[in-house]
Structure 1
Amino acid sequence: MTTVPAEFDAAVQPAGAELTPLAEYLSGVLRGLRPLPALDLDLTQAHGNVLAEDVHAPGPLPAFDHAAIDGYAARFEDIADASAGRPVRLNVIGDLGAASWRPVRLTPGTCFSIGAGAMLPAAADVIVPAYLTDQGMAAVEVYGAPPKRGYGLRRAGDEIQPGSLLVRAGTYVSPAIVALLASCGIGHVIVRPSPRVVIVSTGDELVDVGRASQPGQLVDANSHALTAAAAEAGAHAYRVGICDDDPEGLRGLLEDQTLRADLIVTTGGTGTGPGDMVRRVLSRREGLRPPVHFTGVSVYPCTSLGYGAFSSMAGAEGVPIICLPGDTGAAMIGFEVLARPVIQVLAGADPIFRPSVRAHLLETIKSPSGLREFRPAYVAERRGGGYTVAPLAGGPYTLSGLAEANGLMVLGEKVTTAPAGSTVDVLLLDRRR
């Protein structure tokens, strides 16, 4: 049985604390966001962005009747009686390649040698593969059982009819979608730009990677990890690095970043201790519209989240800012539950949340009462259908669990024990393995 250490549970959920339910908190944040203004981009540049408008087919796909394979374009009625003992002989009256454009027509007893992609001659209704013939040049003999009518060719509009919906607004422009749109003759599309996300780690104790943590010094894993997470979410991610616990330095850095950011994400300083500078600076700064609010949210292991806007000028609308805890595991979970959906909304994506499945739990686990736990897990498909999920290290050990995970198991606020064999929700993480 996997358990949560009691001392860590008490640390993240102070006695008597009233926490905002995650669903309520997320709804309030996302309701106030709008997608970034749309852009008209060249198709190749649009890859990786999200479509802002539905795209319809301007014409049929294929655009014209053509050969799908190499062979001989013929009339089925001319080859219908061919057999191994009685081949059918046809006169080859020309060669057609993919670049051929002049309309041609078959007459009885004739055929064309044709390459894949070439326009189909009028009256042709079958492509005879070369291996069923003697591959003659002036005349060709068709052996064995002939292919069926329609074999080896594609008719105009077989795949897509003119005016058909090709791709819906909110869809990520993948390489396959680029291929589809290009094949339909579409060279420009209206997309939402990928959000520019700036990542800042705060704390006097932080040192850059390349050395080990020691008393008084902690390696800044957060800015590296969250920059990667933002890029995986589809953003243009910029790692600013480390900002000391200096109020003026923090204000100046954030003011500079508003010029190039659609979203700012900070880590560290969200608590109420003497060194928690981010909370002290942002929650009291005048002129913020809306101000940055720090809220206790029913998420484990990330109960303290800050959200609002930061502007370089008083009264300006400002750039959305998300403040995550300093613990790397908690920051990663906080990014998943808050920052990633915000990025998807700014990008105009639909849906904005990761896909999820219901899976059978392989091991009994405990979960803290009153908190919605996001536990790293490994999910696998079962033979015959369905999924199983094995819990990985969570709580104070979330970071090591996330390194192995391909999913996040979600245990509700009222769940204190999830027995083996029960069914739980699992968010599927994007991985390339």
Structure 2
Amino acid sequence: MTSSAATSPAGPDHLWSVEEHLEDILTTVRPLDPIELQLLDAQGCVLVDDVTVPLSLPPFDNSSMDGYAVRVADVSGASEEFPAVLDVVGDIAAGAARPAPVGPGQAARIMTGAPLPPGAETVVPVEWTDGGLGEGPVGGMRARSLAPEGATGQVRVYRPAEARAHVRAAGSDVKAGERALEAGTVLGPSQIALLAAIGRGTVRVRPRPRVVVLSTGSELVQPGEELGSGQIYDSNSFALTAAARDAGAIAYRVGAVVDDAETLRTTIEDQLIRADLLVTTGGVSVGAYDVVKEALSHVGDEEEPGGGVEFRRLAMQPGKPQGFGSIGPDHTPLLALPGNPVSSYVSFELFVRPAIRTLMGLADVHRPTTRAVLTADEALTSPKGRRQFLRGVYADGEVRPVGGAGSHLIAALAQADALIVVPEDVAVVEPGTEVEVVLLG
């Protein structure tokens, strides 16, 4: 995989737009090659080919009730006072291969899912009968279960039934030759159920991409451990790993890497074996300890021709510093995100999530957007020349901001289900203004 970032004509002082950065990512990342998987292993994967039904569902007429298979004429006019009395000729259980035919004046005890026998035209539920026990209604109530298995004799039917009542017709679900699933479908439980029902043991899909998430910073401590002076808990790697899984990936979280360029580079190289996409967070700005830039700025060149990671500034807030490129012998794509929690999460939604969905082979890789009326106590301000993404709560065509513009406000982020988009040429947004909203739910 060759990154266009490595040969980008933009100079180091170029201020990239959100669209330019995203386009560079999506023109570089390619869908993963298809593979054949067992059904349960294919859950969450994207179907590569249309699936045609080889046999109708259900494949034969069958009963939707426990009851008796009968001819319509034999129960016509049946009532509580004058029940139809029929000879029970046998039992038909689900899976029965060749049920005996039902003739005039006869009935076959039938179970739910069992094939309708030759000659039978309808099914009367057991609740409409005496259950083959030879008993009439007692206090207006009739038998609620079938007679013991293997019992023969007679059954009294107290209500008439129309033709094909309580019968599932062959092909009533789907007919042979019809398209069961379209290419591009994400396989969930119901789709896997359908594939199994039509006899498919395997299916051709694009596999779920493997995403490795690394956070950087000597100040980071893992949750559950004791904080020392100047330390904070590592939330970014947990947030981004969860976000990658939510996007459809198989995600692996690597504990925080200390601020040492060689350690980080070694860690990244060790992770390449299980990564279709690498995501780092932190160390991409201009500080003295921006370890990701130090470790990856010169990757590529002679060792990996066509590879390399470019670090750039974007006209957006939060998330101005970003990095993108490829690393390793297979040119595995790498996205380097800023370290502030909100910056990293917004960057993930805008850039990493579409990359994951592209690897999956999905046609629509973006979160849905809508227009909504801003409800706020005061006007929102935004830096001119940057596209701002504010956290918000959306409902019924309205959106209200939560928290401020600070990129460290994790509690506000936890309440948000939308991003409020303020364009680059807008500095003030008054309450009541219609705004663009990215829906995160």
Range of TM-score over shorter length: 0.7 to 0.9
Output one character per residue of 1:153-191: Cα deviation in whole Å (capped at 9) or x when no partner. Answer: 111111111122222222222111111111111111112
Point out where structure 1 has 5 or more consecutive residues left out of the alignment.
Answer: 1-16
TM-score, scaled relative to structure 1: 0.85
* Matching residue within 237, 241, 246 for 1:227: 241
Tell me if 1:347 matches 2:360: yes
Which residue is 1:120 aligned to?
A: 116
Deviation at 1:367, TM superposition (A): 4.5
Counterpart check, 1:45 vs 2:58: no
Gaps of 5+ in 2: 1-12, 134-152
Aligned counterpart, 1:371: 386
Instruction: Work out the CA distance in 2 between the residues paired with 1:421 and 1:93.
Output: 75
| 2:197 corresponds to 1:183 | yes
Residue 266 of structure 1: aligned partner: 280
Q: Which of these residues, 316, 321, 327, is aligned with residue 304 of structure 1? A: 321
Change (3 A) 1:330 1:177: same
Quick one: which amino acid aligns to residue 320 of structure 1? Answer: P
2:42 partner amino acid: A
The code of the aligned residue for 1:220 comes to D
Amino acid across the alignment from 1:202: T
What do residues 186-227 of structure 1 show as CA deviations (whole Å, max 9, x unaligned)? 111112222111111122333333457676433322122212
How far residue 84 of structure 1 moved from its aligned partner, in angstroms, is: 4.2
Contact 2:63/2:111 (<8 A) preserved: yes
Task: Give me the identity figure in percent.
Answer: 40
Q: Which residue of 1 aligns with 2:145?
A: none
Instruction: Write out per-residue CA displacement over residues 65-85 of structure 1, whole angstroms, 9 at most, x where no aligned residue.
Output: 111111111222332333444
Q: Greater CA radius of gyration, 1 or 2?
A: 2
Q: Distance in 1 between matches of 2:90 and 2:187?
A: 42
Following the alignment from structure 2 to structure 1, what is the Cα–Cα distance between the partners of residues 162 and 366? Answer: 47
Q: Quick one: structure 1 residues 310 and 286, their matched pair in 2 at CA, closer, same or farther if it must change by over 3 Å? A: closer
> Counterpart amino acid of 1:39?
I
* Higher mean C-alpha deviation, range 320-329 or range 219-228: 219-228
Structure 1 pair 115–330 and aligned structure 2 pair: CA distance change class (3 A): same
Cα separation, partners in 2 of 1:133 and 1:420, compared to 1, 3 Å: farther
Structure 1 residue identity aligned to 2:165: Y
CA distance in 2, matches of 1:416, 1:235: 37
Q: Give the match for residue 59 of structure 2.
A: 63
* 1:332 aligns to 2:349 (yes or no): no
1:159 aligns with 2:173: yes
Partner of 1:204: 218
Give the one of 297, 306, 311 matched to 1:294.
311
Give 1:392's aligned residue: 402
3-state DSSP class of the match of 2:267?
helix
Q: Structure 1 pair 150/423, CA: closer, same or farther in 2 (3 Å)?
A: farther
Q: Does 1:401 align with 2:390?
A: no
Distance 1:267 1:231 in 2: 17
Amino acid aligned to 1:296: R
Q: Say if 1:309 and 1:318, in contact at 8 Å, map to a contact too.
A: yes
Does the C-alpha gap of structure 1 residues 305 and 178 become closer, same or farther in structure 2, counting only changes over 3 Å? Answer: same
Of residues 247-256 and 261-270 in structure 1, the stretch that sits farther from structure 2 once superposed is: 247-256
Contact 2:219–2:231 (Cα < 8 Å) also in 1: yes
Q: From the superposition, tell whether residues 75 and 264 of structure 1 become closer, same or farther in structure 2 (CA, over 3 Å).
A: same
Deviation at 1:140, TM superposition (A): 2.2
Whichever residue aligns with residue 301 of structure 1, its letter is: P
Equivalent residues of 2:375, 2:431 under 8 A apart: yes
Taking a change above 3 Å as real, the CA distance of residues 373 and 122 of structure 1, as seen in their structure-2 partners, is farther
Q: Distance in 2 between matches of 1:405 and 1:192?
A: 32
Aligned-residue offset at 1:270: 1.0
Counterpart selection for 1:27 from 23, 36, 45: 23
Match for residue 193 of structure 1? 207
Deviates more, 1:277-286 or 1:36-45: 277-286
2:137 aligns to what? none
Query: CA–CA distance in 2 between the matches of 1:58 and 1:407?
Result: 44
Question: Which string of whole-angstrom CA distances, capped at 9 and with x for unpartnered residues, describes residues 351-378 of structure 1?
Answer: 3223344444433651523333333322
- Assess if the C-alpha contact under 8 Å between 2:299 and 2:327 holds in 1: no
* Matched residue, 2:295: 281
Relative to structure 1, the CA distance from residue 205 to residue 162 in structure 2 (aligned partners, 3 Å threshold; closer, same or farther) is: same
Give how far 1:56 is off: 1.8
CA contact (8 A) 2:67 2:110 kept: yes
Structure 1 residues 324-352: Cα deviation after superposition (integer angstroms, max 9, x where no partner): 00111111111111111111111223432
- Aligned twin of 1:322: 335
CA–CA distance in structure 1, aligned partners of residues 366 and 87 of structure 2? 62
Judged with a 3 Å threshold, the aligned counterparts in structure 2 of structure 1 residues 327 and 213 are, in CA distance, closer, same or farther, namely: farther
For 1:251 and 1:263, locate their aligned partners in 2 and report how far apart those are by CA, in whole Å.
15
Secondary structure of 2:56's match?
coil
Query: Cα gap change, 1:365/1:164 in structure 2, threshold over 3 Å: closer, same or farther?
Result: farther
Cα separation, partners in 2 of 1:95 and 1:196, compared to 1, 3 Å: same
Check if 1:109 corresponds to 2:102.
Answer: no
Whole-angstrom distance in 2 between the partners of 1:43 and 1:259: 25
**Superposition deviation, residue 417 in structure 1:** 4.0
Task: Quote the residue 2:144 is aligned against.
Answer: none
Q: d(CA) in 1 for partners of 2:121 and 2:313?
A: 70
- In 1, are the aligned partners of 2:38 and 2:202 still within 8 Å (CA)? yes
Would the alpha carbon gap of residues 412 and 158 (structure 1) be closer, same or farther in structure 2, given more than 3 Å must change?
farther
Determine the structure 1 residue equivalent to 2:155: 140
Q: CA deviation at 1:321?
A: 0.4
Q: How many aligned positions are there? A: 404
Distance 1:77 1:342 in 2: 65
Q: Pick which of 402-411 and 123-132 moved more.
A: 402-411
2:149 aligned partner: none
Query: Partners of 1:414 and 1:94 in 2: how far apart?
Result: 81
